[in-house]
Amino acid sequence: MRVKPIRFEYKFWALFGVSGYCYNFDLYCGKGSANEENINLLLGSQVVLNMLSVLDNPFSFNVYFDHLFPDYTLLVHLRNSGFNATGTMRENRIIKCLLKESNAMKKEPRGTCDYRFDCNEEILIVKWVDNKCVTIGTNPDTVQPIKSVQSWQREFKSKGNDPQPNVLYH
């Protein structure tokens, strides 16, 4: 008789400040009880809102997260709650945002960017060409001023300067 191992997946969610102080944490072991007002949100959005629920004054915090968590709806919800939030985004989570296709942008020079700003919800979505296309969503930042950053350029085998939008260099 052969027994297959049962795979368990645990995730440890944590909210840290720039000082390294842990404000909140949660060990995720699978489907849990969600707050009823957040039930329609994606799991990543529910995790972020749960982590931020312990903070008293949202106006004094800037929240940064990676592509697992943010979507357009979360950025709107956080802006309405008073949080400044910025995060890299997966392309399938930018609702109705008509940015250039990644395949077309990869052919453009490094540092090229395309962006859209939703005036109603005050959400900025930026796609920027680095080694790969990077998509970022934010509710407090802007594209301007464009900063010049130093990077390695393979074709010249030396360092060169590439333009980078404001939202990327905080």
DSSP string, 5-17: PPP---EEEEEE-
Query: Domain extents for the chain?
Result: 11-168
Query: Is the pLDDT assigned to residue 21 strictly greater than 60?
Result: yes
Q: pLDDT tens across 33-85, in order? A: 556 566 677 777 888 888 888 888 888 888 888 888 888 888 888 999 999 99
112 vs 32, more confident: 112
Q: Do 81 and 53 contact (CB within 8 A), yes or no?
A: no
Q: pLDDT tens across 3-12, in order? A: 445 456 778 8
Rounded to 10°, the helix 72-81/43-52 angle is: 20
Distance (Å, rounded) from C-alpha 46 to C-alpha 35?
8
Q: Check residue 4 and give its pLDDT.
A: 46
Query: Is the pLDDT assigned to residue 144 strictly greater than 50?
Result: yes
Q: Check residue 102 and give its pLDDT.
A: 80
Q: Do 143 and 166 contact (CB within 8 A), yes or no?
A: yes
